[in-house]
Structure 1
Amino acid sequence: MIPEINARRFGHGPRPALAIHCSLAHSGAWRGIGAALSDELTLRAFDLPMHGRSGDWDGQGDIHDVATDIALSLLEAPMDLIGHSFGATVALRLAIEHPELVRSITLIEPVYFAAAKQDDPDAMAEYNEQNAAFEAALAEGDKETAARLFNRVWGDGTKWDHIPEPTRAYMVDRIGFIPASSPFLGEDSAGLLAPGMFDRASMPALLVEGSRSPKAAHAINASLMRRLPDARRVSVDGAGHMVPITHPAEVAEAIRDFLNDVPLA
């Protein structure tokens, strides 16, 4: 069941686009990119379930299925999709399952571990070792430690104690979203890695990453670069995983250059 969804718009440009944020954030994460591309895009962004002002997930079914259904309900074909981290995996899934509704996809460090697990098992083995303490904290029910460890790898580099207390509490309250998303992110529950599935996503694709991001993020983008029929890849120097928030101007410039080659009609 789809919960009540909150959405907002950025910009007034001629290209309708849909933006999907990362885990533990909210739709306001697109404010910087939305402002930088306000003349190019009319960007619609929504809060994922359990995030921002959207309703809670009832725990039924698969959270990635729920998020994908929500995004699908907001698509007004044809649209350009922009996603970050978890949100980028939703955009990728829509491009494969509903290519007729997608004009282009911009994937900013999609955390589609299943692809890297298949193509670069050594990189994923290293990541799993690094992630062991996070998994242990979750297993012990220590949500604050789990959120702190998650932020250490996938945050913007700010030390946990320097993050404002309301933001820390927001992440702690939603840390359960991370293991709930594992069936798709880690195990490919939707079957996108089956032969021929990626061929369906023939629209132009842009893969964005930060030069200082975790090796796993680079391995995932390398895997998707090999699989997507029409993809290009850019790296933002000095940036980490939260690149659309920390470096919105650079990401917006890469998106603008990319969309210049994607016809509006």
Structure 2
Amino acid sequence: MKPVEPFFRDTGAGPGIVCFHANASHSAQWRELQDDLAANFRVLALDSWGAGKSPPWPTDRVVTLSDEVALAEPVLATAGQPLILVGHSYGAAVALVAAAQNPDRVRAMALYEPTLFALLDAETPPPNAADAIREVVAKARLSLEAGDLDSAAERFIDYWMGAGAWEQIPSQRKPAISASVVNLPGWAHALLNEPTPLQAFSALELPVLYMVGKHSPASSRAVARLLIRALPNVECVEFEDLGHMGPITHPGPVNTAIMQFIERL
């Protein structure tokens, strides 16, 4: 049987950088960053399970963040080592787990709001800052069970981007987003049940750029509070005008921060 491999975009030449995208997105979200870095780096951006052109979300098992790391392994191997990991939201959580599992292969990380909600539950059992995203997932699940993908997508997008955000998305883009949210319960399970403890990230001595948006939801900002305190070699950047989806809505300032961080390594 042929091994399952992800689709990935491969640009440039030089030391390797691997980019992980957010939920309801795909590798193309990093296209501008790839173009910006291609003169000096080989930049690979992959599609995660069920995203873009990668294999569909498995139905025969519960997918974990470790499964996402395993899917990415051919891309990580192609990038060589030591490499730099870039990630946003769910993708940033995958990058963190990848680094914790094999720190020797990672030179540095640039992360925009990893959504490792399991860290919040480990610190303080519910009720806690993850309750709002749990509620969104529960309501979206009901919409999915009723076959109403648009309603599920609206709940998801409005949580992360603000009330009314779904209505502002161009109609031609909505079908792809709606189709992707069938994986929402799986994403939530992976993030809320990730077993890697906070102490594992405390052992990562590598440089980390941790980016947050001032207007992001309490859940991702609460995760940031824990990780920024735990990571031993972290530089934090807060974007005054951005929210959780900053790398997609305003790639310019986010990509500039990432490039400046990489230049200082």
Q: TM-score, normalised by structure 1?
A: 0.86
Q: Which amino acid aligns with 2:9?
A: R
- Would the aligned equivalents of 1:3 and 1:54 in 2 still touch at CA under 8 Å? no
- Would the aligned equivalents of 1:48 and 1:54 in 2 still touch at CA under 8 Å? yes
Query: In structure 1, what is the Cα distance between the partners aligned to 2:217 and 2:233?
Result: 25
- Would the aligned equivalents of 1:33 and 1:244 in 2 still touch at CA under 8 Å? no
Q: Which amino acid aligns with 2:117?
A: F
Match of 1:251 in 2: 254
Query: In structure 2, what is the Cα distance between the partners aligned to 1:226 and 1:61?
Result: 34
Shift of residue 43, structure 1, vs aligned partner? 1.2
Identity between Structure 1 and Structure 2 (%): 29
The 1:106/1:62 distance shift into structure 2, 3 A limit, reads farther
Match of 1:150 in 2: 156
Match of 1:123 in 2: 129
- Would the aligned equivalents of 2:57 and 2:183 in 1 still touch at CA under 8 Å? no
Match of 2:167 in 1: 161
User: Which of 185, 190, 199 is the equivalent residue of 1:179?
Assistant: 185
Is 1:205 paired with 2:218? no
Query: In structure 2, what is the Cα distance between the partners aligned to 1:93 and 1:228?
Result: 13
Shift of residue 54, structure 1, vs aligned partner? 1.7
| Structure 1 residues without counterparts, runs of 5 or longer | none
User: Which of 235, 239, 243 is the equivalent residue of 1:240?
Assistant: 243
Query: In structure 2, what is the Cα distance between the partners aligned to 1:152 and 1:89?
Result: 21
Q: Which amino acid aligns with 1:176?
A: V
Query: In structure 2, what is the Cα distance between the partners aligned to 1:9 and 1:27?
Result: 10
- Would the aligned equivalents of 1:2 and 1:69 in 2 still touch at CA under 8 Å? no
Match of 2:118 in 1: 114
Secondary structure at the aligned position of 2:155 is classed as: helix
Q: Which amino acid aligns with 2:55?
A: G
- Would the aligned equivalents of 2:66 and 2:97 in 1 still touch at CA under 8 Å? no
Query: In structure 2, what is the Cα distance between the partners aligned to 1:89 and 1:203?
Result: 16
Query: In structure 2, what is the Cα distance between the partners aligned to 1:37 and 1:157?
Result: 34
Question: RMSD of the alignment, in Å?
Answer: 2.5
Query: In structure 1, what is the Cα distance between the partners aligned to 2:68 and 2:117?
Result: 18
| Structure 2 residues without counterparts, runs of 5 or longer | none
- Would the aligned equivalents of 2:136 and 2:155 in 1 still touch at CA under 8 Å? no
